[in-house]
Amino acid sequence: MDKVKLDKAWIQDPWPLYAEMRRQGPLRRVTMPDGVPGWLVTDHAQARALLDDRRLSKNVVRARPLFPPNAAAGYGTRLSEHMLNDDPPNHTRLRKLVTKAFTSRAVSRLRPRIEQIVDELLDGIDGETDFIESFAFPLPIAVISELLGVPPEDHSRIRAWSKIFVSGVTGTPLAEAARDQDRLLRDLIRAKRAVPTEDLLSDLVHVSDEGDQLSEDELVSMAFLLLFAGHETTVHLLGNAVYQLLTNPKQQELLRGDPGLLPGAVEEFLRIGSPIHIATLRFTTEAVSVDDVEIPAGEFVMISLLAANADEARFDDPHELDLTRPAGGHLAFGHGIHYCLGAPLARLEGEIAIGRLLARFPSLRLAVDPAELHWRTSTLVHGLRQLPIIAST
């Protein structure tokens, strides 16, 4: 079967290729837009099985030599050596320690603060605005900074670095942002070691499991992972949800009429607009057969969560937004040992944000024709660059 070169047009509209791929077989050899070769998976059952397959490694140090020259930019720094980019037994050890600190109590403790931040951001919306810039981008970074215990005076720096990390820039700006963030996190960790505070970073500094603790380097990369993993993903949960509501007025009316539908609606937003398009780095440590196709050892496997969530073998009419469907079983939070640690927080943010947005503005509509909207050209995230809306009370 032909190897497919994925380009920017594919990111704007991946559906024709995904439909064709599913007709032709379980896997397709591809080259990603950044030149990285691999195997693309679009089928829900195969995606789920491969996310849980221990023959696929996520160890970034072992992966680096597999990248073509200049293509591993995002994986080049020490900050990328965190548990999402590692395998058992180290992943198990790190996940156990962080799970002890990142409890459901820690998440539900945040509810009143999230409500307050949401209301403050909504206060700033009047008439026409870019929903991504004015609401979806600032909300999650404020919430994670709060969760970690980053002092308010440092929030704007965290926000500025986050913009750099998600923009895809490389070279000096990326290196400087990584260095400055590393420095800020180390200072914070030392301060919290000296004087414990009521927040996740302080809990992570002091957590121990049978005498085992996180080293300073591990704390820095864990904090970086939480900031990074919890930010842009949630931005696009919110952006994609509002985009879906504005392009499906009947479903918007349904939700306005019955706010009890919100938890299920958030699952459907996650399914239909998976904020992570292709799951993060994975490569085969030995030959792996999928149906009758063999992936040799040492090759990248790209699992499209967006495609898997639109697999008609798993979900009826997958391209229809249906806020009453049982959308559980979607893969937007991944599957297996790396299943999203922040899923309860993301769901809470989604429910509060969408619920309060609808309650505040009886009329919400797109300010442009849907055809004028553009998706970000990242292969990791699936989200709109801008979402101009008109909100009226």
In the complex, least distance from residue 174 CB atom to ligand HEM, rounded to whole angstroms = 21
In the complex, least distance from residue 1 CB atom to ligand HEM, rounded to whole angstroms = 25
Structural tokens at position 131: 């929903």
Map the footprint of ligand HEM across residues 154-193, applying CB under 6 A. Answer: none
Identity at 328, one-letter amino acid code:
G
> What H or E segment, with its residue span, contains residue 288?
strand 288-290
Q: Which residues contact 39 (CB under 8 A, 6 or more apart)?
A: 27, 28, 29, 30, 295, 299, 300, 301, 302
In the complex, least distance from residue 350 CB atom to ligand HEM, rounded to whole angstroms = 7
Please select the residue that binds ligand HEM; options are 22, 28, 95, 382, rule is CB under 6 A. 95
Burial of 42-76, coded b for 16+ CB within 10 Å and e otherwise, reads bbbebbbebbeeeebbbbbeebeebbeeeebebbe
Q: Is 230 in the site for ligand HEM (CB under 6 A)?
A: yes
Q: Is 243 in the site for ligand HEM (CB under 6 A)?
A: no
Q: Which residues contact 328 (CB under 8 A, 6 or more apart)?
A: 267
Q: Is 275 in the site for ligand HEM (CB under 6 A)?
A: yes
The Cα–Cα gap between 75 and 225 comes to 12
In the complex, least distance from residue 171 CB atom to ligand HEM, rounded to whole angstroms = 26
Please select the residue that binds ligand HEM; options are 46, 145, 181, 233, rule is CB under 6 A. 233
Q: Is 229 in the site for ligand HEM (CB under 6 A)?
A: yes
The Cα–Cα gap between 348 and 338 comes to 20
Q: Is 97 in the site for ligand HEM (CB under 6 A)?
A: no
Taking the least distance from each CB to ligand HEM, the nearer of 250 and 385 is: 385
Could you please report the per-residue DSSP string of 295-348? EPTT-EEEEBHHHHTT-TTTSSSTTS--TTS--TT--TT--GGG--TTHHHHHH
The Cα–Cα gap between 352 and 154 comes to 25
The CA angle 235-120-124, to the nearest 5 degrees, is: 85
> Which of these, 358, 267, 354, lies nearest to 315 by C-alpha position?
267
Q: Is 279 in the site for ligand HEM (CB under 6 A)?
A: yes
Taking the least distance from each CB to ligand HEM, the nearer of 234 and 378 is: 234
Map the footprint of ligand HEM across residues 320-349, applying CB under 6 A. Answer: 332-334, 338, 340-342, 345-346
In the complex, least distance from residue 148 CB atom to ligand HEM, rounded to whole angstroms = 8
Positive or negative: CA dihedral 350, 129, 122, 126: negative
Q: How far is CA 236 from the centre of its chain?
A: 8
In the complex, least distance from residue 213 CB atom to ligand HEM, rounded to whole angstroms = 18
Q: Is 138 in the site for ligand HEM (CB under 6 A)?
A: no
Taking the least distance from each CB to ligand HEM, the nearer of 59 and 365 is: 59
In the complex, least distance from residue 121 CB atom to ligand HEM, rounded to whole angstroms = 17
Candidates 3-11, 37-45, 154-162, 225-233; binding stretch for ligand HEM (CB under 6 A): 225-233
Instruction: Please check whether residue 178 is in contact with residue 158, taking contact to mean a CB–CB distance below 8 angstroms.
Output: no
CB-nearest residue to ligand HEM? 342
Please select the residue that binds ligand HEM; options are 276, 323, 352, 387, rule is CB under 6 A. 276
- Which residue in the block uniquely carries the two structure tokens 């309650």? 359
Interface residues with ligand HEM (CB under 6 A) are 83-84, 95, 144, 225-226, 229-230, 233-234, 237, 275-276, 279-280, 332-334, 338, 340-342, 345-346
